[in-house]
Chains A and B, each alone.
Chain A
Amino acid sequence: MSVADIHIGEEVHHDEHHEQSFIQKYIFSTDHKMIAKQYLISGIFWALIGGGLSIIFRLQLGFPDMSLEWLRPILGKWITSAGKLDSEFYLALVTMHGTIMVFFVLTAGLSGTFSNFLIPLQIGARDMASGFMNMLSYWLFFISSTIMFVSLFLETGPAGGGWTVYPPLSALPQAISGSGLGMTLWLVAMVFFIASTLLGGINYITTVINLRTEGMSFSRLPLTVWAFFITAVIGLLSFPVLVAAALLLVFDRSFGTSFYLSEIYIGGEALPNMGGSPILYQHLFWFLGHPEVYIVLLPALGITSEIIATNSRKPIFGYTAMIMSMLAIAFLSFIVWAHHMFVTGMNPFLGSIFMFLTLIIAVPSAVKAFNYITTLWKGNIHFTPAMLFSIGLVSFFISGGLTGIFLGNSALDINLHDTYFVVAHFHLVMGSASFFGMLAGVYHWFPKMFGRMMDEKLGYIHFWFSFVGIYLVFFPLHYVGIAGFPRRYYSWTNFDAFNSFTDLNAFVSIAAILTFSAQFVFLFNFFYSIFKGRKAPQNPWGSTTLEWTTPRIPGHGNWEGDIPKVYRWAYDYSKPGAKDDFIPQTVPYSHTPESNLPFENELAKTEDVSPVAQDAK
């Protein structure tokens, strides 16, 4: 089929000699590597804001008597005349912390960075299927970020109804100040965000399916690419549902419809809305919301698979099982959403069905955890910072996943729902695990992104403070939660039952501040190494995958000559008989008779080792 004449920019050349202006190169770039860096920097920016917000509310929780007068220069009137944090602003802080972390850092920052960076490099493509769409995706994210950021400075404060923005609270501007303009901007920002995510996702899927180089069959794809691919598919199916949920919410807020509202009295006065149902919103939201937690986690798991295999110098244990469990998780993630709604008055029979489905997810999750451990087992482990963060991820994934099994029981959940137990659960399994995945990815692929190495010692310091710190923060929260302390409460000092937790809460806050501070070690390391780091060798970790066959700093188009051809899977580490402890994917079987298995020797006979044909001009 000849399609060449359909608006292809006749930009036949992608070479380095082609001069690009500053704007083309760094701002409106269509190069996937630059876009990935843009996402990374934006994600780091948001992580700092999101983390900073959490420190502010941890101060309130840990030291309720402390005077926060010194925050007035930043927070202005949100510090009351008594020197305390405004209680409605507290809600806004929690809301924005959740929104920023889940969507802006761990969805856009994580998928945006690593899907963009790694998909073309690891499948042997010169760029994404559509560089323009990719650029558009970033800039929509940028607009969304700007709107969300502006909402932080509103007179009435940013959105305050929790990151899940449940109606009726979020639907009635008169309910709290955080349901006013801040909520409107939240919704607008999310619309741009979803558009950006969908554009990005469509691009990732198209690229993986259509642009793999010769020989790169699905069964030879690195697990990173598998993970990004499945993540994008989940996003494609679930984010539109959030569009629907948000659309109806907008109509309820701004046009007076009653999708989610019914028989509400505010200030003693009845509202006209009749016939709606707030539970409807929860169904729609969690149909996205639960898949979303896996959108956040799967890329981190993919990154971990890659790093653990490379640094254990062993093939990943159970390659197919890893893919199967990701597919199973993806499928199951769409049919468990109601475990977030056990206490909404749901029919108990329906509750047990969702309980059953929820507990099944533990199976593929456990398969993945076991496979990581068995890959590490008896490996020749290289403890690079990236490796430490990956092992940390596995630890968080297990300890956080275990509490999921408690929460998944519809009976136990009556006690645990909306307590700090849930907060502890998802911060370990989702928040910290994905965050570690992202950091591991940065440490591991930094040499490819910037051509330089990050400092290892600083990396170790960063790791140990973060790893220990996170457990110190979230482990105690389980106890607070089991004791029944509800999440999103401004203050607990009025409840006798919780007074015994005063010290524990202070301890958690101190640990949180320490953990947050440790991130500045990373920041310094990151920015310092971009300019002053040791120059990276071409393949610093001895990896098999294609990105390490590019020049030290790949130009637009990634490979200078032909694109590489792939002859084997991505995990030929420490293959018996081989000269080195890794064989890159570009090495044909016919060149490695000493290490081939019998069936590989058969393959070697029919192998076509001519290069991928020249780019035709």
Chain B
Amino acid sequence: MTRSSADIHLGKVRVKSMHPKKFAMWLFIISVTMIFASLTSAYIVKKSEGNWALIDFPSLFNVTSVMIVLSSISIHFAYLAAKRNNLFNIRLGLTLTAVLAVAFSVGQFFSWGQLVEQEVFFVGNPAGSFIYVFTGLHVVHLVGGLIFLLVVLVNSFRYKVHSKSLAQIEMCVTYWHFLGGLWLYLYLFLILNN
């Protein structure tokens, strides 16, 4: 029978619309969105006040953007595999995603190096500081996602991720696509506002 996975037994309550944990995940995504929405608004407000340095964005951003898109594809691959109970492909897809995530984070770190090369430091004109904040805070959320991803990966080795048990990987995939979309938004935002 249908059971909501709350912490205590809930009886036959018609679980409306959605699995509570997935629903909570969406709410979490909304709150993260609000953080970045307010930061990007702050960027616009600050920029419109003038005293704004012009900055060339690190070329590495293009590379990392491709990586994060690829990681979205690989995690989706894992998800499709989970639906078909293909254990090997679940593990393959998740591992690939984790590797890409690490590569992405490292790439973001080196892009900071490229910023430093053109003398844009974290401390200085807010135009530069904002870029560090956007990338840094995004990676922090990505690391959170990575931990979640590793939990799912471990569970896949314990035979706990399969077509009858998809909620966790579904939540992970949702969050992962969100992280990818968030980065693309940030990058596009920076490009459009420079």
Residues in chain A within 8 A of chain B (CB atoms) = 1-9, 11-14, 30, 124-133, 198, 201-203, 205-207, 209-214, 236-241, 243-245, 247-248, 251, 255-259, 262, 274-277, 279-280, 283-284, 287, 556-557, 562-563, 612-616
Contact = CB atoms under 8 A, between A and B. Distances in A.
A257 B46 CA distance: 14
Interface in B121-136: 122-127, 129, 133
A255 B5 contact: no
Interface in B45-82: 45-46, 49, 51-53
Nearest to B25: A202
B10, B15, B41: residue with the most chain A Cβ atoms closer than 10 Å: B10
A202 B145 CA distance: 18
Contact of B45 (A201, A257, A283): A283
Contacts of B191: none
A212 B126 contact: no
A277 B165 CA distance: 51
B18 interface: yes
B1 to A, nearest CB: 5
B31 A240 contact: yes
Nearest to B33: A240
B27 interface: yes
A203 B13 CA distance: 17
B171 to A, nearest CB: 9
Interface of B: 1-21, 23-24, 27-28, 30-35, 38-39, 41-42, 45-46, 49, 51-53, 122-127, 129, 133, 137, 160, 164-168
Nearest to B35: A240
B7 A275 contact: no
B125 A274 contact: yes
Nearest to B27: A202
Contacts of B30: 236-237
Given A244-B42, A613-B12, A206 B53 contact: no
A247 B137 contact: yes
9 contacts: A6-B21, A133-B24, A207-B20, A210-B20, A211-B13, A240-B34, A255-B122, A283-B41, A614-B11
Contacts of B24: 129-130, 133, 202-203, 206
B126 A127 contact: no
Nearest to A205: B27
Contact of B4 (A211, A214, A238): A211
B11 A210 contact: no
B9 A615 contact: yes
B133 A9 contact: no
Contacts of A276: 46, 126
A3 B167 contact: yes
A176 to B, nearest CB: 23
A232 to B, nearest CB: 9
Contacts of B53: 275
B7 A3 contact: no
A280 B45 contact: yes
B94 to A, nearest CB: 16
B46 A11 contact: no
Nearest to A10: B9
B170 to A, nearest CB: 10
A584 B152 CA distance: 46
Contacts of B129: 251, 257-259
Contacts of B39: 244, 248
A238 to B, nearest CB: 8
A11 B6 CA distance: 10
A251 B128 CA distance: 13
Given A6-B167, A243-B35, A244-B38, A127 B23 contact: no
- Most B CB contacts (10 A, CB to CB) among A13, A280, A612 go to A280
Contacts of A615: 9, 11-12
10 tightest A-B CB contacts, nearest first: A240-B34, A615-B11, A131-B7, A129-B20, A241-B38, A613-B12, A244-B38, A240-B35, A202-B27, A256-B123
A3 B41 CA distance: 39
Contacts of A562: 11
Nearest to B169: A6
Given A3-B5, A210-B4, A259 B123 contact: no
Contacts of B166: 3
Nearest to B2: A1
Nearest to A9: B7
B154 to A, nearest CB: 12
Given A3-B167, A236-B27, A280 B42 contact: yes
B14 to A, nearest CB: 6
Given A131-B7, A280-B45, A284-B42, A210 B31 contact: no
Nearest to B168: A6
A596 B151 CA distance: 55
B17 A210 contact: yes
B79 to A, nearest CB: 15
A125 B45 contact: no
Residue of B5, B18, B19 with highest tally of chain A CB at under 10 A? B5
A137 B21 CA distance: 16
Contacts of B124: 257-258, 275
A244 B39 CA distance: 6
Contacts of A1: 2, 19, 167
A126 to B, nearest CB: 5
Contacts of B17: 209-210
B50 to A, nearest CB: 9
A102 B179 CA distance: 33
A1 B8 CA distance: 18
A202 B14 contact: no
A202 B13 contact: no
A538 B130 CA distance: 58
B12 to A, nearest CB: 4
A130 B20 contact: yes
Nearest to A256: B123
A517 B143 CA distance: 51
A239 B31 contact: yes
B6 A251 contact: no
A126 B133 contact: no
Contacts of B16: 209-210, 212
Contact of A30 (B7, B18, B38): B7
B23 A210 contact: yes
